[in-house]
Chains A and B, each alone.
Chain A
Amino acid sequence: MGDSHLIPLAFMMSGESGTLREIRGIRHHGPIDPVVTRAKRTIRRPSRRHLLTQDKGPRMEHRLKSMGFLPGTRIKMIKNDPGTPLIVGIGDCRVCIGRGIAMRVMVEKD
């Protein structure tokens, strides 16, 4: 990948800061044509299994975005202690974020 300067948010140490570059959602993985998945998801009623596997990506991504996790945002690691979730600062807000999802938030470190 050419994005070698990006690191997952979860790898930032306490006190470090950087700029959020992208959120790697479930849907953006692999070579699947996003338009096809999109059309399927919206127009036909998705099956239960489909919902379970596909839906949490956009839902999570949307939630992150509505809480201010946007590409270009300045982000600061407030607390990254082993075994606990992370506390990150976006502006003056403090958000507690699970390590799993913090692996999908890609940051360019200062």
Chain B
Amino acid sequence: MQDKNCHPRPSEGNDKSMIVAALTGNPNSGKTTVFNNLTGARQHVGNWPGVTVEKKEGVSKYDSKEFTVVDLPGTYSVTAYSIEEMIVRNFISQERPDVVVDVVDASNLERNLYLFSQLIELGRPVILALNMMDEATKKGIAIDTQLLSTLLGSPVVPMVAVKNRGTEELKMAIIESVERGEQFREIKVNYGKEIEEEIEKIEEALKQNIEYSPILKQHNTRWLAIKALEGDEHVLRELRKHFGEESGILKKIESSVRHIESIYKQDIESVIVDYRYGFISGVVREAVKRERKEYESRSDKIDNILTNRILGLPFFALFMWLMFFSTFYLGKFPARWIEILIGYVADGISNLITSPHWIRSLLVDGIVGGVGSVIVFVPQIFIMFLFISIIEDSGYMARAAFIMDRLMHWLGLHGKSFIPMIMGFGCNVPAVMATRTLESERDRKLTILINPLVSCTARLPVYALFTAAFFAANQGTVTFSIYMLGIILAVLMAKLFRRFLFPGESEPFVMELPPYRFPTLKSTFIHMWERGSMFLRKAGTVILAGSMIMWILAYMPPGAGYGSSKSLAGRIGHFLQPVVKPLGFDWQAVVALIFGFVAKELVVSAYGTLFGVGEDKTAIIARIQGNFTPLSAYAFMAFTLLYTPCLATVAVIRKETGSWKWAVFAVVYQLILAWLVAFLIYQIGLLFTRGG
């Protein structure tokens, strides 16, 4: 257990492993801002083992002492009902961080303390980071932090994270709490005489046997007993596994539950929740004074307009238009500069390395051609992510879900399913992950399955290239029509799947509408960078490797003629071409599409490499114009939009649905759909062009 969480950067001088602080909190409590303040740029994004929930880690420093900060997912409680909540409680009880920091919204203390009341039961020291103190003051809420700290038995640090206030104090509290543990007093939620007695009995029984179970041993026995009484599926499963289905302890739990429910005439889970809230309201009554003033907050005023029955939709459309306009038109300028820069690089390499010919070809045709043709789109991709970050950070995302609820109902989904759709315009991978907020498994699967039809930024290079080649006069309209095609098909498929795969009504939903906040420059840029830099990394890894493989296929066998139909690429393409012939595609399109399965940008890279013209856009365009007609080009764009999700998306679908079945289904149905749509576009179009 020693090497867990071993961070590459050991704290100076001593071998003692670094202090680990885990950051938790309700959604919308400003947890991410606190994390960014603590760690700055020194963060590392990965996944939690086994699941695709993003895991962020960073290093912070106070008074020359470094410590690791792990950002846990935002949750309202720690039941076994969702993956995020499982991650939070497993991390705290199994990895045993030195201290847990619970970030709470001071202006909504009561509700935020619910998580705290459960965290203290996990048996690790908890620091309460009392965020948004300024908003609390504005609302007329006065919190006696000293008293609060005494009542909760934990240090309390008042903060205003968006203004970076309280960060140093929090760091100090983390270091001090670990170095001198005495600030913590054990506080328990008292569940009343009857329940406490049962908890004690179960704890006794557990203590006698628990050493033999490696999993149960990690947990605090009181916590296990409470969870068992609550009927926590996960804890009960572990107990069954360890003690056996018919063991005395399970019978004991069962009879305790029956006993308590007969006394309270209510299900035990509710009784326990009520006691937790009882504890919280006791604390709040003591430590919080509020002058009650009825007022309409700024958020409500904004909501009067933005979620208005009539105005809501036009405003939403305006924001969407602004997002696409900025991405496509403003993004073009920096794209042009990068293009010029890459041109210089290609020329430079050509002039420097003249022989042997194959190295020059690999560098110029393969690498610069393949990677360069994608890098050009980085500014546009960043702008798209910038907008998505602003929508998320400002609190508008939840409103968009509200506005679109009526439309989504028609699809048999509800508004919350719309959030992944917007995120899909950026990248389908985080979008598929974002479906996790949906309560119903069926709604979730349906939302996942239609998500890849929403056109992500990786497909943008393909449209940009083809519209430049064939529809130069109305590039914008044609690109827009492709996006719309994706959305219309997503709608149709949703209807179809709802009818045949997941029949029934959508489930009811609850969703918090966070107050509107002006997104801070820092956090918006960090978000944009996190997501956007994925593309840069992809360009350096997948696209680079893909381009090199592409180059080998185009170059081999020696003497066949680079990228000719006798090369390996040519042979593969010719072999499969009959399948796509009715769509009007040639063999080079086949090769490009095969590579596009790995990552859709590779379609463009593949052309760049295959034609052996480097990243020179005009040269690629000229060659493409020889291979396609405007009609087949449009069919090709539609095919690229619709055919199989990229490899990363397939992987995330597999993880999120928990089975290969749905991942394979997504690949197959989209291939068929793409073929059919491209076929119809091409063949119907042919009728008109011939007839005309």
Interface residues of chain A, those whose CB is within 8 Å of chain B, are 27-28, 34-35, 38-39, 41-43, 45, 56, 58-68, 70-71, 78-79, 81, 83-85, 87, 90-102
Segment of B73-81, B493-501, B564-572 engaged in the interface with chain A: B73-81
B76 in contact with A67 (CB, 8 Å): yes
A62 in contact with B79 (CB, 8 Å): yes
Known: A42-B254, A68-B111; 4 extra A-B contacts, CB below 8 A, are: A58-B267, A63-B510, A97-B508, A98-B508
Cβ-neighbour of A35 out of B110, B114, B262, B273 (below 8 A): B262
Q: Which residues of chain B are within 8 angstroms of A100 by Cβ–Cβ distance?
A: 505, 507-508
B residues 235-274 in Cβ contact with A at 8 Å: 236-237, 250, 253-254, 257-258, 261-262, 267-270, 273-274
* Chain B, interface SS category: helix
B residues 409-445 in Cβ contact with A at 8 Å: 414-415, 439-440
Interface residues of chain B, those whose CB is within 8 Å of chain A, are 76-77, 79, 81, 107-108, 110-111, 114-115, 139, 231, 233, 236-237, 250, 253-254, 257-258, 261-262, 267-270, 273-274, 277, 297, 299-300, 303, 307, 309, 398, 401-403, 405-406, 414-415, 439-440, 505, 507-513, 515
Cβ-neighbour of B273 out of A34, A65, A83, A85 (below 8 A): A65
A–B complex contacts, Cβ < 8 Å, 17 sampled: A43-B250, A58-B267, A61-B270, A65-B277, A66-B79, A66-B115, A67-B76, A68-B110, A78-B303, A84-B406, A85-B405, A93-B512, A94-B515, A95-B512, A96-B398, A97-B508, A99-B508
Cβ-neighbour of B439 out of A41, A63, A81, A83 (below 8 A): A63
Cβ-neighbour of A91 out of B111, B233, B262, B268 (below 8 A): B111
A35 in contact with B513 (CB, 8 Å): no
B439 in contact with A91 (CB, 8 Å): no
B508 in contact with A101 (CB, 8 Å): yes
Cβ-neighbour of A63 out of B76, B231, B403, B406 (below 8 A): B76
B114 in contact with A66 (CB, 8 Å): yes
Cβ-neighbour of A34 out of B261, B303, B402 (below 8 A): B261
Cβ-neighbour of A97 out of B77, B81, B509 (below 8 A): B509
- Which chain A residue lies CB-closest to B251? A43
Q: Which residues of chain A are within 8 angstroms of B233 by Cβ–Cβ distance?
A: 42
A94 in contact with B303 (CB, 8 Å): yes
CB distance from A69 to the nearest CB of B (A): 8
B510 in contact with A95 (CB, 8 Å): yes
Measured CA separation A56–B402 after assembly (Å) = 22
Measured CA separation A83–B250 after assembly (Å) = 48
Measured CA separation A66–B402 after assembly (Å) = 21
CB distance from B496 to the nearest CB of A (A): 22
- Which chain B residue lies CB-closest to A56? B507
Measured CA separation A74–B253 after assembly (Å) = 35
CB distance from B549 to the nearest CB of A (A): 44
Measured CA separation A71–B297 after assembly (Å) = 25
Cβ-neighbour of B440 out of A45, A56, A64, A67 (below 8 A): A56
- Which chain A residue lies CB-closest to B81? A59
With A59-B439, A63-B76, A92-B297 as contacts: A41 and B231 at CB distance below 8 Å: yes
B439 in contact with A56 (CB, 8 Å): yes
B406 in contact with A35 (CB, 8 Å): no
- Which chain A residue lies CB-closest to B235? A42
Measured CA separation A93–B254 after assembly (Å) = 38
Interface centre among B114, B268, B307 (most CB of A within 10 A): B307
Q: Which residues of chain B are within 8 angstroms of A102 by Cβ–Cβ distance?
A: 508
Q: Which residues of chain B are within 8 angstroms of A85 by Cβ–Cβ distance?
A: 402, 405, 414-415, 509
With A34-B267, A97-B510, A98-B414 as contacts: A79 and B107 at CB distance below 8 Å: no
A87 in contact with B81 (CB, 8 Å): no
- Which chain A residue lies CB-closest to B309? A81
Q: Which residues of chain B are within 8 angstroms of A63 by Cβ–Cβ distance?
A: 76, 81, 439, 510
Q: Which residues of chain A are within 8 angstroms of B111 by Cβ–Cβ distance?
A: 67-68, 90-91, 93
CB distance from A51 to the nearest CB of B (A): 9
- Which chain B residue lies CB-closest to A78? B300
Measured CA separation A23–B257 after assembly (Å) = 21
Measured CA separation A84–B415 after assembly (Å) = 9
Q: Which residues of chain B are within 8 angstroms of A58 by Cβ–Cβ distance?
A: 267, 269
CB distance from A62 to the nearest CB of B (A): 6
B108 in contact with A93 (CB, 8 Å): yes
With A59-B81, A59-B439, A91-B110 as contacts: A96 and B258 at CB distance below 8 Å: no
Q: Which residues of chain A are within 8 angstroms of B401 by Cβ–Cβ distance?
A: 96
Q: Which residues of chain A are within 8 angstroms of B231 by Cβ–Cβ distance?
A: 38, 41-42
B258 in contact with A39 (CB, 8 Å): yes
